[in-house]
């Protein structure tokens, strides 16, 4: 019987790609998202809003009581762009709640079982925004917080056989990205030309990195951040 993996934000885009990839790799996938699943989702699916702490904790407790969860991919998150001056406390709290608090809630649900079994893989999904991007005050802070989670938890959980890492995507052609950067536009083409690898990423690029980090063979990698960004973070492309 294969390992069991929870993937949050699994309804579409990067999360769905991760779920499909892990399923093809023999994992038993449990998807979590606040919206309905796609047809033929490759596993079990729970409609959970991670902003609702009480409901989320209850649902997560049910999941871990019924399933031996070996892998957690904290992918759920969203951004509400605004300048530093215009960022409202309400929007700030929403972004911290989903991107950071949600990851904490999910992790706290699965860590006890991982400790008992002396095995676990936790992967957080960050963003290039954490390195500095205008109009991303709350989002960038939340994603940087996930990197801090990985580094601190790697020290706490390593003795229990649990690794904790972060994947930080560059520009990935999700549905939302393509709506904001339509192919064929000047903005899209300039972004492509600015990338060292000469192309933009696709969700599967992120899924491949996650699949690597959650493998049994990746037990000597922990506390690290892998930038899956086509080389964007090593230069200063005009974006």
- Residue 78: active-site member: no
Rg of the chain (C-alpha set): 17
For 141-156, give one letter per residue: b (16+ CB within 10 A) or e.
Answer: bbbbbbbebbbebbee
Q: What share of the chain is helix, strand, coil (3-state, %, to 5)?
A: 50, 20, 35
DSSP 3-state assignment of 224? coil
State the sign of the Cα–Cα–Cα–Cα dihedral 8, 12, 17, 21. Answer: positive
**CA count, 13 A, side-chain hemisphere, 193:** 8
Phi, psi angles (nearest 5°) of residue 196: -55, -35
**Residue of 78, 139, 188, 220 marked active site:** 139
Which residues have a catalytic role annotated? Answer: 139
């Amino acid at each position: 019987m294969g390992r069991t993996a929870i993937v949050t934000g699994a309804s579409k885009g990067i999360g769905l790609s991760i779920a499909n990839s892990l399923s093809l790799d023999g994992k038993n996938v449990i998807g979590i998202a606040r919206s309905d699943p796609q047809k033929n989702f490759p596993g079990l699916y729970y409609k959970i809003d991670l902003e609702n702490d009480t409901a989320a904790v209850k649902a997560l407790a049910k999941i871990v009581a019924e399933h031996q969860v070996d892998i957690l991919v904290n992918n759920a998150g969203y951004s509400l762009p605004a300048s530093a001056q215009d960022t409202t406390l309400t929007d700030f709290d929403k972004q911290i709640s989903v991107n950071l608090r949600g990851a904490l809630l999910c992790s706290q649900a699965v860590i006890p079982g991982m400790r008992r079994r002396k095995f676990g893989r936790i992967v957080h999904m960050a963003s290039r925004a954490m390195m500095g991007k205008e109009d991303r005050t709350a989002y960038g802070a939340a994603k940087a917080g996930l990197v801090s989670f990985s580094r601190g938890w790697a020290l706490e959980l390593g003795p229990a056989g649990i690794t904790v890492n972060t994947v930080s995507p560059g520009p990935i052609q999700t549905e939302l990205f393509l709506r904001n950067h339509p192919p064929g536009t000047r903005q899209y083409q300039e972004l492509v030309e600015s990338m060292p690898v000469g192309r933009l990423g696709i969700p599967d690029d992120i899924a491949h990195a996650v699949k690597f980090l959650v493998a049994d063979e990746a037990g000597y990698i922990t506390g690290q951040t892998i930038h899956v960004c086509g080389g964007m973070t090593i230069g200063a492309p005009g974006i």
